[in-house]
Amino acid sequence: MNIERNRINTFANWPSSALVDSDRLARAGFFYTGNGTEAECFCCGGKISDWNFGDQVMWRHRVLEPNCLMVLSPELSGNIPATSHSTPPIPGERSYSEDEGYGIIAEDQLYRSNSLRLLSFINWNDPISRESLVYAGFYHAGEGRLRCAWCGGEFQSFRNVRNMGTPLEIHRAYFPRCRFAMEVERRDRSHRSPFHAKCS
């Protein structure tokens, strides 16, 4: 079950009422056991069945088995990802190498779209605007934790640093190797982004 495509195939009878998308489960290392909404990790054997709406799959996985290689370093777990997830680069758009990151996990790549990152903040109740966090590359990984979708940089509690500047400035200060944050900062210097102006 280390082959993602095989894991995807196990979800043929995944309940339509399930609160978590089966592709996300397969990408995070899970396959369907055929029992209710129970999914099992091919690597650590951990099982989860009590899914909730808005669950961050890899976060649930990490809470269940924090030492699972699929959580810590998917490339060392023996996982063979489905190539169909690879998105061809947009002409003129930079790609960002994961070796410039701070611990990329499989879940991060799901949030490389503004709309999905914004959705992750559905239960966000901090005075910092979710739009400014999205602009800076962050998504809400649950329980107040923020992660960058490109470099994997994580804040356990953003409120401890929120007075140090804008989310982008804080991102750059704490995770200076993040190519995404560098590029956004460079664009901001050359011309003020309308989206960023709205978020400030």
- Sequence-separated (6 or more) residues with CB below 8 Å from residue 52: 19
Average pLDDT over residues 182-199: 69
Pairing of β 145-148 and β 138-142: antiparallel
Residue 59 and residue 117 in one domain: no
Structure confidence at residue 90 (pLDDT): 32
Domain that holds residue 72: 4-76
**117 backbone φψ class: left, alpha, beta (φ>0; ψ -120 to 50):** alpha
Position 101 scores a pLDDT of: 58
- Which amino acid, 163? N
Task: Write the CA distances from 144 to 86, 88, 149, 154, integer angstroms.
Answer: 29, 32, 15, 11
Domain assignment present for residue 90? The answer is no
Instruction: Please check whether residue 35 lies inside any domain of the structure.
Output: yes
**Has residue 83 been placed in a domain?**
no
Phi, psi angle pair for 48, to nearest 5°: -135, 135
Q: Is residue 120 part of a domain?
A: yes
Instruction: Name the β-bridge partners of 31.
Output: 40
CA–chain centroid gap for 12, Å, is 25
Instruction: Let me know whether 121 and 186 are in one domain.
Output: yes
Which DSSP letter does residue 200 get? -
pLDDT tens per residue across span 135-150: 999 999 888 889 999 9
**In a shared domain, residues 115 and 181:** yes
Phi, psi (5° rounding) for residue 196? -65, -40
In the structure encoding, which two tokens stand for residue 45, read together? 């054997």
If asked whether residues 71 and 145 sit together in one domain, one would say no
Please give the average per-residue pLDDT across 61-76, as a whole number.
Answer: 84
Residue 199: inside a domain: no
Give pLDDT tens digits for 143-173. Answer: 888 999 998 888 887 887 888 889 999 998 8
Question: In this structure, are 110 and 186 located in the same domain?
Answer: yes
pLDDT tens, position by position, 7-41: 999 999 999 999 888 988 998 899 999 999 999 99
Structure tokens at 26: 């397969």
CATH of residue 159: 1.10.1170.10
CA distance 39 to 18: 11
- Of 20, 54, 76, which one is at a domain's C-terminal end? 76
Same domain, 130 and 183: yes
Report whether 144 contacts 157 (CB < 8 A).
Answer: yes
- Residue 99: what pLDDT? 40
Q: Mean pLDDT in the chain?
A: 82
Given pLDDT bands bounded at 50, 70 and 90, which one contains residue 88? very low
